[in-house]
Each structure stands twice: as C-alpha cells, then as structure tokens.
Structure 1
Amino acid sequence: MKTYSAIGLMSGTSLDGLDIVHCTLTENKSKWNYVIHHTKSISYDDSRRKQLKNAINFSATDLLKLHHKYGKWLGEQVDVFAKENKIKPDYVASHGHTIHHQPHNKFTFQIGYGQDLASACGIRTISDFRSADIAANGQGAPLVPIGDELFFGEYDFCLNLGGISNVSYKKDGKRLAYDIGIANMILNYIIQKTGKQYDDNGSVASSGVINRQLLDSLNNLDYYKQSKPKSTGYEWFLSDVIPILNRSNDSTANLLCTAVHHITQTVSHDIKELSNKPDNTILITGGGAFNGFLMQILSENLGNSFQIEISNKQLIEFKEALVFALMGALRLENQPNCLASVTGAKANVSGGIIFNPN
C-alpha cells in the first residue's frame, strides 16, 4: 500500500481565489482513497483579481513576469498553510491559473511557475499538468474526471459547476467527459457590474424574468454545436459570450435570470441526451452548487429521472484541489492522470513537471 501526504492547489476561472487542501492519499490494489485534513480558501483582492483577469492581454514579457511572481506567491501561501497546520507534506500539486487555453493552436498556459513555488515553500512541487495531453493531441481538459473515476465512480454523472460547466460519465467501460459550456463565469460577470462579487444563493436572479431574445442567442452559440470531446475557457467567454451580453439592454435581475436558465438548459439537455437508463445519480460540485436558484431550475429541467446529490460544503469547495493532489500522486507513480477517452489524446499520459526546491 502506498500513502502520500499531499497539498493540492486550485485557482479557477471564476477568479474567486486560491483553494488549498491537505489530504492523505492511499493506494491499495489500484484503489485510491482520500482523507481531507485541512483546507483554506484565500480570496483574491481586487488588484490580483484584475491582474489575473487582464493577463490574457499581456505581452509575452509581462505574462512571464507574472508567471514567476504568481508562482512565488503560491509557494508563500503554501508555506504559511503548512506552518499553520504543522504539516510536512510529501509534495504540492498545483494547477496554477489558466490564462490561455487554445488546444486548437496546440498550447495551454497556466501561470504559477513550479520552480518558484517549490523554492518559496521548500516542498517538492508538481505543476503544468495539461501540456503533456496537448502534446498528445488532446484537449488538455477537463482533467478532474480522473478523480471522478478513482474517487466518485459510483455516480452515473459527476457535474462540476465552476466558471465553466463540465460533466464526466462512464460509457462502455470508459470514462468520458467534456466542457458543456458557460456557468458561474457569466453570472459573476453580470453581478460584478453592481459591485457584488457573486449573486448570493441566486437571490437577484430569482427576482428577474427571462429575456427570450438573449436566451435564444446564448443557446445558439456555435460552441454547443461542436462535437465531443471539447473544452473551452475564458477566451471563448470574451470573444463569443460577452458581446451578446453587452448588446442586451436589460436589468441585472433579468440578465441573471436568463443566464441561469441558459446554464440549466444546456446542462440538462446534454445530461438527458447522455443518459441511457430511467434512474440516474448526479454528484454536483463547484461554486454553482451553492446557488439555490440555479439548483432549483436545474432540478426542474432534469426531472424525476435524475437524483441530484449536492456534495458537502468542503467537497464542493475543494474537490478540484483534491483531484490535483491525486494527479500529483499519479505523476509520481508514473501512472496516467490524463485520460485519452476524456481529452481525445492519442494515448493516456502522466502529465505534470516535477520541481525540487532549491
């Protein structure tokens, strides 16, 4: 039996902040299990959030400067976290923060250079998990399905409602997954114009009415017509989604209400299409699970054939960080952590670059 004490780091497209999880991972006869010991969320201040949001437009020099600066900052946060909890983990597994994701152009870029991170905290670090899959002609995303397969395989569907919605499921003995489309990214974009960071429990959205013209425009985005596997991100949101929103002169409540219905319609449409039996179980994680109005409309759209299980608060918030901790262990074991059946790569790969502290 193999056992690892690990720290996983995740910064998602919703720009909420950095999630840190400390867990013990054990492998016994190819079966992986986890125990979460400590967690921490560090919210981004306005300056850092703005910097990460605008980095997509940075010059190469400025982007690389941020890559190193952010990596050092990540390492400093890990160092504080480890000292606070009096732990000495075997490694840190860091997703970084995605600035560019262009699998069609054969590259993806997550800032937070692993060597700077490792040197700042003094702990072996694994990062850059996506590039190996891209090099194998994959999408480099989604990556969390390896965790769905090894930790949560008893569910028919694992749905993550982060900045982007994605789903993973089993078909003919293979784990499949893809990015369905937009989720919290559009909700946060709309509400943040009012000075709030998010629509608490969907209360503002629930007070609005659907803008039919906007809903039709969102539902007819070209991305939804693309074949699977597929992945998307902030660049698509900037180029295809924001212009539609900016043409819609409507109240914040109505825009949010319409966005919620768009998210739930695209998600429920795809999951219903994927289902091949009368009774299904769905595990939902990601920040969208905290949005009561979103969950209510999604449940109504899915109907009685789907039993929704919303994870406990800790798993909702830290599932992705937990899965990256697992991906780090798999990388150290040289076992596949990116599934070709999910990303469309020519073969499974063990992604991630290992950095030892100076």
Structure 2
Amino acid sequence: MSKFTNIIGLMSGTSLDGLDICAVRFQEKQPQKFEIINCKTVSYNEQLRNKLKNSIYLSNEEISNLSIELGVIFGNATNNFIKEHNLKNIDIISSHGHTIFHEPDIGKTLQIGDGKTINKLTRIKTINNFRAQDVALGGQGAPLVPIGDMYLFEDFKYCLNLGGFANISSKEENNIYAFDICPMNTVLNHYCKIIGAEFDLDGNFSSEGSVNKKLFNQLNSISYYEKKLPKSLGIEFVNKIILPLIENYKIEIKDILNTYIHHVAYQIKKNVDTENEILITGGGAYNKTLINCLKKEKLKIHIPQKDIVDYKEALIFAFLGRLKNEGLNNCLKSVTGASKDHSSGDVFNLI
C-alpha cells in the first residue's frame, strides 16, 4: 500500500483570474504533513470571464449547460497539467468549482464545474460540491478553508487570505473561528478594468491615489461589519452594496482604489491583535499599498513561499477532498454555524 495520497486540488475564485491547479502529496498516517508537487494557474479567456461574471442572470438550463462547459474546461486542464508534469498515481481530484451564487441566509449556494464531467474526462475519482450540504444543515457554507488552516498551518493563530474576498481564520484554544471580513479583489479588479488593467499590479495604481475620508467612513459603517458570527459574503454583496455606494462618489479611480484598500486594512485590523503573526496568502499579498497599510498598523505579517501564497486555497480543497475520502469531517460548525460538524462533498467514482 502506498504511504502517500496524491490529490489534485482545483480552485476557481471570484476574482476570475483562472483555474488554480495544485498537486499535493499527503502522508498516509500524518495527513497534516504535505508536499506541493506542482501547481499552475490556467487563465480564463475574456469570453469565459464574462460568462462567469454574468452567470447569476442565466436561466437554470443555461447554468446547467455552463456547469458542464466548465467541467470540460476543468477536466481538460487537469489532463494537460498531469501530462505536462508527468504526474503518476493521482488518487483524487478535489474541485471547489466556481461560485456563481452564495446567499446562505436564504438557503442557497451554487458552485458550477460539473464533477461528473471532470471524472469522465480524467478517469480519476472526483470530489466536488463542498458547500451545499453545509447550507442545508443551517450553516453559511463558508468559509471552508479554516479546517486546513487548523491542521496544515497550525503554527499561526491567524490565517488571512486576500483573494476575491478577504477572509480570516482565528485559532482560539482548541477551536477555530473564521469569516469573510470584506470584499477585496472583486472590488479592486472591477475598478482596474475601467482604466484598462486586469488588476492593481503591485499596488501601483492605488499608491498614486489618496483617501477620500467620507467614502472611507461610509464604507466602514456598512452593517455587515457589525454582524455577529457566523457570517460570509458573496458577489451579491459587492453588486448590491459596495459598488452602488462607491458610485455615489465622483472621484478618480486611483482615489477609489486607495480609499478601498485603506478600508480593507481597517477592517482587518479590527479583527486581529498585534501580538501574533498573520499568515497572508492570495493575490492581495502582492499589493504593496495594502501590505504597507497593514505594517503601519503594527501588525505582524508573514508572507510565505510563492506556492503557498498563490495556491493555498487549491491546496486546502485538496485536503478537504482527502478528509471526505476518509469519511472524516471537513466542515466545522464553529466556523459555518451548521447544526453539526460533517463530511461534505459529492463523490464521483469511475464506472
């Protein structure tokens, strides 16, 4: 019997950068011990980005077709990745999919990227749809990454991911709590696209701006920030709350970016202490404007190796697949608010 389990984690984030693929080797008897074998991001073309961005407006039939289309893209990308890196003995593909709808307060969440299609194309056992069961059990269906933070990054009290949303895990004694702090790159990328850029590279655009104090204060007064845990956010919050609020201000894009980054830094500071190191991952870790803001707040920041910064979520979804495959809990009620800890995910075996 092999001493290792080899799993490919797939993650498609709300920032629409592309598909993150991460091949991970877990030790059989110590699943918290891992090695990243290879990783890669497969960029989406503009047509697919627009489809995903506007998918919330599609009919049920159109969403079903898009889910299969995305499953084909995921399956083919995984096959190409395996071939490119000459990977052997992949046991499981564990796919988060792409979230197009997440409103747990009304009992709805939807991730697309059909698992059956991935399984059929790759001929590898596939696990996906990790959020729906948690919502059905009364939870937020998010965040799901904290169980990985608990076991794979146990040396850090705080694990902060700066992706489409800024979300954090906080370890307290023998438990862990986590939530979405605020939107992050979903907002920054939206305004960067207006000036012809995909994102705020190294914080270059935002660094040229200045804070609009009135907008800053109004952003910080949004009621979500005072809501008690558990809580989570979806793209609907950006479209219904954040963007309309910002659009009331007729100011330059660089000032919007700078103001919003200071807003993010302020919200992060509210949820951490200055005594413990914060592990920071996700694309926002490269935004110098934001990192400088956090440093000015005297926060202790740790930015790990590039593979962890860029692929931590794909890595952890590989870990969630590992737990599901072993019949172990991969969703924590202390994090999501579900009625119980549970083992979530749909499994597609080879027929």
What TM bracket, shorter-length normalisation?
over 0.9
Q: Normalization by structure 1: what TM-score?
A: 0.95
Name 1:46's counterpart in structure 2.
Answer: 46
**1:1-358 maps to which residues of 2 (within 5 A)?**
3-28=4-29, 32-87=32-87, 88-272=89-273, 279-301=275-297, 303=298, 306-358=299-351
SS in 2 for 1:140: coil
Deviations 1:266-306 (A, max 9, x none): 1111223xxxxx621110011100111110001212x1xx4
Equivalent pair of 1:137/1:344 in contact (CA under 8 Å):
yes
Letter in 2 for 1:297: C
Alpha-carbon offset, residue 60 of structure 1: 1.1
Deviations 1:189-225 (A, max 9, x none): 1111111001111111111111112111211112112
Alpha-carbon offset, residue 357 of structure 1: 3.6
User: 2: distance between equivalents of 1:193 and 1:185?
Assistant: 13
Q: What is the number of residues matched between the two proteins?
A: 349
Letter in 2 for 1:188: N
User: 2: distance between equivalents of 1:175 and 1:209?
Assistant: 36
Equivalent pair of 1:7/1:89 in contact (CA under 8 Å):
yes
User: 2: distance between equivalents of 1:343 and 1:321?
Assistant: 19
Deviations 1:90-137 (A, max 9, x none): 010000000011111112100011001111111110000111111211
Equivalent pair of 1:18/1:41 in contact (CA under 8 Å):
yes
5+ residue gaps, structure 2? none
Percent identity at matched positions?
39
SS in 1 for 2:277: strand
After the TM superposition, list the runs of 4 or more consecutive aligned residues in structure 1 that deviate by more than 4 angstroms: none
User: 2: distance between equivalents of 1:256 and 1:193?
Assistant: 12
SS in 2 for 1:96: strand
Deviations 1:289-339 (A, max 9, x none): 0111110001212x1xx4210111111110000001011110010001111
Deviations 1:59-98 (A, max 9, x none): 1111111011111211111111111122230010000000
User: 2: distance between equivalents of 1:45 and 1:213?
Assistant: 37
Letter in 2 for 1:90: D
Equivalent pair of 1:115/1:357 in contact (CA under 8 Å):
no
Alpha-carbon offset, residue 31 of structure 1: 5.1
Letter in 1 for 2:111: Q
Alpha-carbon offset, residue 3 of structure 1: 2.3
5+ residue gaps, structure 1? 273-277
Letter in 1 for 2:84: E
SS in 2 for 1:191: helix
Q: Which sits farther off after the overlay, 111-120 or 82-91?
A: 82-91
User: 1: distance between equivalents of 2:279 and 2:205?
Assistant: 26
SS in 2 for 1:126: strand
User: 2: distance between equivalents of 1:179 and 1:76?
Assistant: 32
